[in-house]
Amino acid sequence: MKNIACIDDLRMLARRKVPRAFFDYADSGSYNEETLRANRSDLEAIKLRQRVLVDVSQRSLTTTVVGQNIAAPLILAPVGLTGMQHGNGEILSAQAANEAGIPYTLSTMSICSIEDVAQATRKPFWFQLYVIRDRGFSKDILERALAAKCNTLVLTVDLQVLGQRHRDIKNGMTVPPEIRLKNIIDIATKPGWAFGILMGKRKTFGNLAGHVKGTENINQLAKWVGDQFDPALNWKDVEWIKKLWPGKLILKGILDPEDAKTAVELGADAIVVSNHGGRQLDGAPSSISALPAIVDAVGSDTEVLFDGGIRTGADILRALGLGARACMIGRAYIYGLGAGGKAGVAKAIDILKNELSVAMALTGTIKISDIDGSVIAGGDVKKKSAARKRKPSQS
Ligand SMILES: Cc1cc2nc3c(=O)[nH]c(=O)nc-3n(C[C@H](O)[C@H](O)[C@H](O)COP(=O)(O)O)c2cc1C
């Protein structure tokens, strides 16, 4: 990890170490990848306001999210099949997040199960739920998450139907998966990855295997998953989940102010402004361009988290400047995991924290709670939207 300077370095290393089908699965977006690209280009277009001769010697990145103290305004986002980027990927990512003092979110579609992660970590982690057709399964998995002491539920609401990723089709990453000669040859050139997977606890969807009848092999299980996304999912289901879940509830995948307001009315403790990392509605606006109007719409009772395209600490400052309370990262840590397992995830977190700290210093900012629209250069509209004062710490 010595020569790794930035998240893009981790990406390049992951590309060499992880089989093509799995690297592409993480790296790509849906359809023409317009939204995927916009997530990055719109962040880069926001310029920060350089300030000088402010005493910034006592900087702190600590803050709170849904009442929890965290070491930096950063959360590891739920990422399906994390355990295919590196053996035991979910456990290693959760441990790296624990050690860095930030939350880890386990996906419903993980390889390691809720129980595996709980057993291997000391601090509570967050659990992400996809509500599927089989509502009994959703109820059971929430009970398992509670039993594993998950304190926060992230309910993902932007995946009633699946966006298509062209690269997955070309690589045979379909449901059920296709075994292709070129993939076998590719895996043969990545022995480190193969050994890690072989030694890992599990090789299939850990939260589902053994909990769903009639899915004895991976193909049956993958087909079950493909059939389970529910186009009928609606706001009434959110009310149902709210009744079942006694902990904090975060709605992830909000991109429109009207939806944000409904989420608040239904009692969400926080929302995540997200377009699923450009993996669902291609042609949707970038997350960062959607953020200011949503911040304005929800007022100060509900925390607004953000994800989509975060690759630098300056990106985190941009999002916080436009009113986000904290940022989730997906690919940034997944590249780290593929590049170097737990050390790679720790490196990704470290890079982003250090970059954020420097960006804060050079914009004359000392505390996270001081960050507002004044860190953004120019753009009155953006400044106005972000000027809403961040709620004081709840803990
Ligand atoms: C490979 C991959 C798998 C993902 N799987 C899930 C998932 O299981 N559940 C979910 O809510 N979001 C999932 N997401 C979306 C992320 O939680 C997050 O919204 C997105 O990665 C943020 O964009 P970024 O990767 O540019 O940081 C996934 C993203 C990627 C890249």
In angstroms, the CA 331 to CA 7 distance is 9
Q: What is the pLDDT of residues 157-204, one digit of tens each?
A: 999 999 999 999 889 877 666 788 889 999 999 999 999 999 999 988
DSSP state of 305: E
- From the CA of 307, give the closest atom in ligand 1: 22
Q: 3-state DSSP call for residue 212?
A: coil
- Give, in degrees to the nearest 5, the angle at Cα 368 between 365 and 370: 60
DSSP state of 202: -
**Alpha-carbon separation of residue 149 from 11, 94, 109, 124 (angstroms):** 33, 14, 19, 6
In angstroms, the CA 319 to CA 277 distance is 15
pLDDT reported for residue 176: 61
pLDDT reported for residue 380: 44
- Going from the Cα of 275 to the center of ligand 1, the distance in angstroms, rounded, reads 9
What is the DSSP track for 20-66?
Answer: HHHHHHHH--STT-HHHHHHHHHHHHSPB----S---TT-B--EEET
Q: What is the pLDDT of residues 209-225, one digit of tens each?
A: 888 776 667 777 778 88
Radius of gyration in angstroms for the set of CA atoms belonging to the chain, rounded to a whole number: 20
pLDDT reported for residue 354: 98
Our answer on whether the CB atom of 309 is closer than 6 Å to any ligand 1 atom is yes
Question: pLDDT truncated to tens, each residue of the chain (395 aa)?
Answer: 889 999 999 999 999 999 999 999 999 999 999 999 999 999 999 999 999 999 999 999 999 999 999 999 999 999 999 999 999 999 999 999 999 999 999 999 999 999 999 999 999 999 999 998 889 999 999 999 999 999 999 999 999 999 999 999 889 877 666 788 889 999 999 999 999 999 999 988 899 888 877 666 777 777 888 888 899 999 999 999 999 999 999 999 999 999 999 999 999 999 999 999 999 999 999 999 999 999 999 988 799 999 999 999 999 999 999 999 999 999 999 999 999 999 999 999 999 999 999 999 999 999 999 999 999 998 544 444 444 445 444 43
367 forms bridges with which residues in the sheet? 60
In angstroms, the CA 145 to CA 246 distance is 11
What spatial distance separates the first Cα and last Cα of the chain, rounded to whole Å? Answer: 36
Contacts of 58 (CB under 8 A, 6+ apart): 366
Query: Could you tell me if 225 and 109 are in contact, meaning their C-beta atoms sit under 8 angstroms apart?
Result: yes
In angstroms, the CA 346 to CA 352 distance is 10
pLDDT reported for residue 212: 79
- Going from the Cα of 287 to the center of ligand 1, the distance in angstroms, rounded, reads 13
Q: Output the 3-class SS for 140-198.
A: HHHHHHHHCCCCEEEEECCCCCCCCCHHHHHHCCCCCCCCCHHHHHHHHCCHHHHHHHH
Our answer on whether the CB atom of 107 is closer than 6 Å to any ligand 1 atom is yes
Q: 3-state DSSP call for residue 367?
A: strand
pLDDT reported for residue 395: 35
Our answer on whether the CB atom of 274 is closer than 6 Å to any ligand 1 atom is yes
Mutate which of 23, 79, 107 to test ligand 1's pocket (most atoms within 8 Å of Cβ)? 79
In angstroms, the CA 346 to CA 92 distance is 9
- From the CA of 158, give the closest atom in ligand 1: 11
